[in-house]
């Protein structure tokens, strides 16, 4: 796993890094309203991990302590070859750190983005692994509630790993009727009863999402797709979709049984496991249930702020140059090293992050982004070679906020990454299209111009 000791690390001088316990934190891999995920390295074993960082204040504010403790405790005990492993849990006075397995194979859907749809046998293999993971976690009382492409990762051997089980859709509550009541998830993958907000069975809702994922693997596009949200919901409520002609008859039948808008007549996971199409070439997962301790989980939820188990974030002095990105990380972030394109090619919708390269000095890039963002109604906060852009207007999912970071790829080449930190993904895409117009002068282009179709490609996954 420790393929590169400096993956996600600081500049070559080692400054600007943060230590938490025995882990050295690196670059941000993703962020949302409740948590941030950072790359990290265990300095004792040199092993690469991912650390999910939760804000204690937000957790307390939303009365989520009990739920998070339950979820973390369960996930700590789960050992399954198709579920991202949770190693340990730590806390400081203000944050909770969940140390997880870091996998290097990227997202499953990157395969489709680069090579197109999968053949039925290959799609079935991944679907079998997905159902194995989901079924196992359900048997332990954990529901994902937000199964979508960015949560489906591949390890170095191409084995599917589901991430964010039990931690994805916070906050969540089960009421007296035994049903979940928070609408969450990516609209295209969400079951109709979740959108309806009348309460839903987590297992049945997860299976619907698995059905959408299977469709996309085999078709190369979404079964339900509309630019207007209400039109999208109408299609989902009626399960209005059609399978392409290359789907086999038995695959079509199974998908129609899974994408049944009525949860009471929808096929169950137990029935999927007995389905002839599903069983073809099926190999049940082989694994041993190891003993796992919950001491660290109990310790971090100790009410005492003077708990000896608290860790401290030790920040070394700030770097005065952008973070250096090494070759391994560059390859892992860039499909085919096509650094010239302003947008990564994806499957027709928008991703939550995008990046471009520039031959301009880092200071010039920062001032250009600031100049282009302010007229678009964004407040800009600078912190060395990182920017936080915060939208002044309230959007569909609250204020849009964007994190921007600049990395040095070579002495005369920088890579700029923009990530949606809050708000709506489609609004992020619109903002970026507008921002790109103001950044034309600084973007390094591989040809005379970046084609319009390249600029407009991306995917809401």
Binding site for ATP, by residue number, is: 52
Specify which residues 60 forms β-bridges with: none
Residue 109 CA to residue 101 CA, distance in Å, equals 19
DSSP 150: G
Q: Write the DSSP string, 209-223.
A: HHHHHHHHHHHSS-S
Report the SS3 class of residue 160: strand
Residue 152 region by backbone torsions, left for phi larger than 0, else alpha for psi between -120 and 50, else beta: beta
Diameter of the chain measured on Cα atoms: 64
Residue 67 CA to residue 173 CA, distance in Å, equals 8
Q: How many CA atoms lie within 13 A of 440 on its CB side?
A: 10
- For β-strands 86-91 and 398-410, DSSP reports them as unpaired
Active-site residue set: 146
| Cα–Cα distance list, 155 to 151, 166, 203 (Å) | 13, 20, 25
Residue 193 CA to residue 179 CA, distance in Å, equals 11
Question: Which residues have C-beta within 8 Å of that of residue 231, sequence separation ≥ 6?
Answer: none
Residue 77 CA to residue 87 CA, distance in Å, equals 10
């Amino acid at each position: 796993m420790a393929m590169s000791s400096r993956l996600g690390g600081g500049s070559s001088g080692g400054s600007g890094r943060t230590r938490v316990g025995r882990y050295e934190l690196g670059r941000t891999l993703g962020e949302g309203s409740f948590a941030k995920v950072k790359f990290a390295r265990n300095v004792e074993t040199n092993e690469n991990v991912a650390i999910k960082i939760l804000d204690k204040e937000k957790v307390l504010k939303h009365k989520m302590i009990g739920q998070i403790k339950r979820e973390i405790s369960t996930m700590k005990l789960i050992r399954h070859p198709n579920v991202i492993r949770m190693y340990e849990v730590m806390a400081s006075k203000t944050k909770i750190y969940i140390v997880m397995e870091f996998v290097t194979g990227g997202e499953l859907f990157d395969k489709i983005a680069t090579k197109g749809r999968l053949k039925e046998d290959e799609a079935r293999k991944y679907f079998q692994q997905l159902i194995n993971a989901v079924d196992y976690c359900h048997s332990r009382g954990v529901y994902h509630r937000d199964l979508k492409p960015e949560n489906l990762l591949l390890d170095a051997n191409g084995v599917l790993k589901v991430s964010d089980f039990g931690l994805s859709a916070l906050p969540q509550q089960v009421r007296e009727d035994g049903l979940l009541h928070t609408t969450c998830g990516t609209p295209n993958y969400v079951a109709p009863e979740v959108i309806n907000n009348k309460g839903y069975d987590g297992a049945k809702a997860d299976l619907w999402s698995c059905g959408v994922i299977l469709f996309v693997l085999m078709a190369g596009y979404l079964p339900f797709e509309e630019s207007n949200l209400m039109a999208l919901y109408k299609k989902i409520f009626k399960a209005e979709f059609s399978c392409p002609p290359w789907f086999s008859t038995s695959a079509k039948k199974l998908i129609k049984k899974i994408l049944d808008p009525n949860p009471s007549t929808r096929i169950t996971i137990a029935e999927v496991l007995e389905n002839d199409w599903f069983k073809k070439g099926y190999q049940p997962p082989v694994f041993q249930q190891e003993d796992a301790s919950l001491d660290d989980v109990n310790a971090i939820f100790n009410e005492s702020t003077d708990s000896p188990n608290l860790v401290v974030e030790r920040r070394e002095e700030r770097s005065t140059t952008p973070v250096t990105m090494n070759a391994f990380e560059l390859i892992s972030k860039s499909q085919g090293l096509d650094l010239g394109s302003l947008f990564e090619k994806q499957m027709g919708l928008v991703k939550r992050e995008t990046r471009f390269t520039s031959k301009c000095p880092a200071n010039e890039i920062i001032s250009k982004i600031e100049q282009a963002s302010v007229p678009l109604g964004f407040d800009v906060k600078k912190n060395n070679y990182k920017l936080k852009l915060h939208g002044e207007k309230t959007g569909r999912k609250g204020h849009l906020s964007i994190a921007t970071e600049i990395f040095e790829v070579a002495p005369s080449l920088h890579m700029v990454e923009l990530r949606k930190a809050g708000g709506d993904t489609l609004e992020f895409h619109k903002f970026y299209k507008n921002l790109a117009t103001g950044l034309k002068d600084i973007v390094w282009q591989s040809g005379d111009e970046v084609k319009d179709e390249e600029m407009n490609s991306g995917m809401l996954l």
